[in-house]
């Protein structure tokens, strides 16, 4: 779609956790670019939605929760440890919550615009055509709540 874009950010580097002066090899992440506002200052932030390749190793067969944990531990945390990093944007892992918390999540305040909720099935490990990945927004765009219930029921049978 028109909103799908591949970003190559030349000055964005990921560093090895155990050797912070060394850079990781090729990494491929999916996610969303947002504009955060902190103390009145706008700054671009990339929210990692999935980590598919890290250090030239394919991670797609791992469960999504493990891939996101790896992204936090191996990509985000080492960058936070570097003081004075002049990267053109900050990087964070997009938070996932259990289905039982979805109503609370709608009330959360974040420092950037949101599209609402994305429901992702955790029934199947890895990436698969059967993953439920749908957006439900506060203002009614996207799918309806009943659509989500039907879709989630299909994925949990």
User: pLDDT, tens digit, for every residue of 38-88?
Assistant: 788 888 888 898 999 998 899 989 988 899 999 999 999 988 777 655 667
d(C-alpha 115, C-alpha 31), whole Å: 13
Query: Where in the sequence of the chain do the CATH 3.30.470.30 domains occur?
Result: 11-96
C-alpha torsion angle, residues 37, 70, 32, 23 (rounded to 10)? 80
| Band (111; pLDDT cuts 50, 70, 90) | low
Positions of E strands within 2-132: 27-38, 41-54, 57-58, 90-93, 117-120
pLDDT tens, residue by residue, 59-68: 989 988 899 9
pLDDT tens, residue by residue, 129-140: 444 444 444 444
31-36 mean pLDDT = 84
Asked if pLDDT for residue 150 goes beyond 50, the answer is: no
User: Residue 114: what pLDDT?
Assistant: 62
CATH number for region 11-96: 3.30.470.30
Indicate the pTM of the whole model.
0.65
Question: What is the per-residue DSSP string for 97-143?
Answer: --GGGHHHHHT---SS----EEEE--SSSSS-TT--EEEE-TTS-B-
- Classify 35 as helix, strand or coil: strand
**Other Cβ atoms closer than 10 A to 105:** 14
**Encoding tokens for residue 89?**
């944007």
| Band (25; pLDDT cuts 50, 70, 90) | confident
7 burial type by CB count under 10 A (0-12 exposed, 13-18 middle, 19+ buried): exposed
- Classify 155 as helix, strand or coil: helix
């Amino acid at each position: 779609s028109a909103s799908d874009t591949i970003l190559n950010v030349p000055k964005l580097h990921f560093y090895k956790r155990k050797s912070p002066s060394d850079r990781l090899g090729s990494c491929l992440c999916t996610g969303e670019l947002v504009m955060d506002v902190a103390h009145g200052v706008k700054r671009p932030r990339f929210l990692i939605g999935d980590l598919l390749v890290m250090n030239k190793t394919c991670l797609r067969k791992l469960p999504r929760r493990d891939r996101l944990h790896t992204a936090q531990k191996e990509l985000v945390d080492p960058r936070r440890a570097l003081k004075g990093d002049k990267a053109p944007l900050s990087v964070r892992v997009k938070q996932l919550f259990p289905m039982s918390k979805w109503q609370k999540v709608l009330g959360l305040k974040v420092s950037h615009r949101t599209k609402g909720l994305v429901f992702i099935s955790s029934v199947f490990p890895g990436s698969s055509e059967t993953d439920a990945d749908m957006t439900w927004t506060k203002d009614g765009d996207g799918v309806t709540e009943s659509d989500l219930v039907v879709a989630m029921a299909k994925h949990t049978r």
